[in-house]
Structure 1
Amino acid sequence: MSLHSSNSLSFEYYLVSAFSNRPFGGNPAVVAFLDPNETSENILAEVAATFKQPMTAFLSNEPSSGADVTVKRFSVRYFTAEREASLCIHATLAAAKTIFQTARLGEEVKLLEFVTKTHGVITARKVSDNPESWIEVELIRGDIAEVADTEKKRITDIVNEAFGKPLTIHHVAKGLGMYGHCLLIEVDEKDDIKNCQVSTKLGKETGYSINAITAQSTTGNEHFASRVFVPLDSLGGEDHVCGSAHALLGPYWATKQAISDGEEIRAIHVGRRGGDLRIFLVHGQPKLRIRGEATTIASGIFSF
């Protein structure tokens, strides 16, 4: 709820770590119940810059799309500490976790619809009625295309310099359509991407805003591992866990490892904070589902 007067503004907020059951794991997001349609963009940007978290999701209730009382709809806009983002899956998961956990819409609500500014409606639901249930977000799957040889060499040089050693690069592909800002780079599992110090140049020099470095998992518990590098200084050059990148990574590894339709694809993020994801897809279908846990760290009232 937000309170407006000529001199003040107050709203509830929650700080949530998405894709982890640990307070200091996964990817943090602020969930702010401040109407993004009625609040100026300057204020939204200032609030997000004040929180200085990887992402802040601003939410407000909208009329539901039908008579089904188990479905509720929200408007959402996403801001980093530096700029507005068109879509953020980890912040959407954090928002869904907060809404379900606080039962602010009643226990009967099972499905949430998030109306984004440019990417239509993203849905989220609880996997079970357990209060600690994983949250499942449905979104458009990402298709990829292999880059040209000259582009592959350019990117390979940037990656090797950023990692400080030559990596065995198996594949370089770019996202298509709404994922055109994404780059997928598969390296050999022996390159041990988890324990490498990586320069911020990887996120800044490729020309892509999401740079997913991925390898087959070495633990035997997951299908693949990844780290994601971005140009944002506020994130230190690395995204803690990127849900959008997994819209490409899931289909890529499902094809590469011949994973059956509907089978659980287990993914692990091996950056500093770690993260666990589960992906479900059917080959040929336009959408996929990403599941993750989320942990509430803090809550309060923001007033100014």
Structure 2
Amino acid sequence: MKLPMFVVDAFTSEAFRGNPAAVCLLENELDDDMRQKIAREMNHSETAFIQKLHPTDSFTQTEDLGLRTNRASPPLVPKPIFIEVPLGGKHSMRGCQEHKEIGENMNPTLTFVTLSGELKARQAEDGIIMDLPHCPTHHKDVKEVQDLIKLALDNVLVQDVHYSPDTKFLLVRIEDSYGRSFLENLEVNARDLTKIENTGKVQGLMLTVKGEGGGKTQGYDFYSRFFAPWLGVMEDPVTGSAHAVLGSYWSQQLGKKEIRAFQCSPRGGGMKISLQDSGRVDITGQTAFVLEGNLTI
């Protein structure tokens, strides 16, 4: 059996930047073990499986698709295990791009049924818009996580700490004076974070700093980096789900609903975040299509 496979870089218009992942189109559902084997074979941080919800559906006409996302076994795990990602927002972006590229589906919006509920993606002039759940944060007493912050940042000044119970992501805002270049060059020992925090309450660490905002040249409102060794990801290149949390926080801090963000990992990638009155978050990003082929199983 041959399965159409693609590699797409999300949140960028340039190849080899942004967040790379494999995308597989399925006529019929694969069992968990086979999907995990494919994810390990592709060897990307995540592999998205887009499938028909009903046998009579057509990739060229349907508006609703199934989306399951697997990642290769993380380096912290001594033997291969089944790992499925609950929130596949960035893959709805890739799926929207690839589905139109291959199937010529001209529906303005595609709905992806995932473990986290329905995620929608639609085409726009400046990229693809993902409709994600709003993930509010609340203030976190720094004393409760001071050891974790100390390991990640050493003596860097921290301005604010928030926590998202929906995602179990911890948001640490670095003092505004540090800026983008400091965050980009910061060395974080992500592997040891799991030794400090092993209660299961934290699944991801977001380090963020205020950006330059508007002005004569359009800048970014905030910058971030994302570490999730608890999920087997030392540092994620660009993370859509994290920005559903970051967007909520920075919208309140900046008093605006339209925000430009950049995740300054080594690959790097940018996006536009729009907070909707409905309680949803629109994240707009571009994609770069870099590989197309078939997987034989």
Identify which of 278, 284, 290 aligns with 1:297.
290
What's the offset of the Cα at 1:218?
4.4
Give the whole-Å Cα distance in 1 for the aligned partners of 2:62 and 2:220: 33
Contact 2:151 2:193 in 1 (8 A): no
What's the offset of the Cα at 1:202?
6.0
Q: Which amino acid aligns with 1:56?
A: T
* Structure 1: gaps of 5 or more residues: 1-8
Q: Which amino acid aligns with 1:254?
A: S
Match of 2:95 in 1: 95
Give the whole-Å Cα distance in 2 for the aligned partners of 1:49 and 1:113: 27
What's the offset of the Cα at 1:290?
0.4
TM-score (norm 2): 0.85
Give the whole-Å Cα distance in 1 for the aligned partners of 2:192 and 2:129: 30
Match of 2:105 in 1: 106
Where do 4+ consecutive residues of structure 1 move more than 6 Å? none
The 1:71/1:124 distance shift into structure 2, 3 A limit, reads farther
Deviations 1:158-199 (A, max 9, x none): 222xxxx4111111111123x2x2111110243311112221
Give the whole-Å Cα distance in 2 for the aligned partners of 1:294 and 1:125: 13
Instruction: Give the 3-state SS of the residue equivalent to 2:64 in structure 1.
Output: strand
The yes-or-no answer on 1:172 pairing with 2:161 is yes
Contact 1:265 1:279 in 2 (8 A): yes
TM-score (norm 1): 0.83
Deviations 1:257-286 (A, max 9, x none): 111x4xx31001111001011000135x32
Give the whole-Å Cα distance in 2 for the aligned partners of 1:203 and 1:295: 32
Q: What is the Cα-based RMSD across aligned positions, in Å?
A: 2.2
Match of 1:198 in 2: 188
Contact 2:48 2:67 in 1 (8 A): yes
Give the whole-Å Cα distance in 1 for the aligned partners of 2:19 and 2:86: 17
Identify which of 22, 35, 51 aligns with 1:30.
22
Identify which of 28, 51, 72 aligns with 1:81.
72
Match of 2:273 in 1: 279
Contact 1:21 1:294 in 2 (8 A): yes
Instruction: Give the 3-state SS of the residue equivalent to 1:25 in structure 2.
Output: coil
Match of 1:213 in 2: 207
Give the whole-Å Cα distance in 2 for the aligned partners of 1:290 and 1:28: 17
Give the whole-Å Cα distance in 2 for the aligned partners of 1:106 and 1:28: 23
Instruction: Give the 3-state SS of the residue equivalent to 1:58 in structure 2.
Output: strand
Give the whole-Å Cα distance in 2 for the aligned partners of 1:115 and 1:32: 15
Match of 1:139 in 2: 132
What's the offset of the Cα at 1:91?
2.0
Match of 1:41 in 2: 32
Instruction: Give the 3-state SS of the residue equivalent to 1:151 in structure 2.
Output: helix
The yes-or-no answer on 1:243 pairing with 2:240 is yes
The yes-or-no answer on 1:231 pairing with 2:219 is no
Q: Which amino acid aligns with 1:45?
A: Q
- Report the number of matched residues: 273
Contact 1:281 1:288 in 2 (8 A): yes
Instruction: Give the 3-state SS of the residue equivalent to 2:250 in structure 1.
Output: helix
Q: Which is further off, 211-220 or 24-33?
A: 211-220
What's the offset of the Cα at 1:71?
6.2
Match of 1:6 in 2: none
The 1:71/1:233 distance shift into structure 2, 3 A limit, reads closer
Identity of aligned residues (%): 24
Contact 1:152 1:172 in 2 (8 A): no
Match of 1:288 in 2: 281
What's the offset of the Cα at 1:245?
0.6
Contact 2:152 2:193 in 1 (8 A): no
The 1:156/1:94 distance shift into structure 2, 3 A limit, reads same
The 1:232/1:294 distance shift into structure 2, 3 A limit, reads farther
Contact 2:151 2:189 in 1 (8 A): no
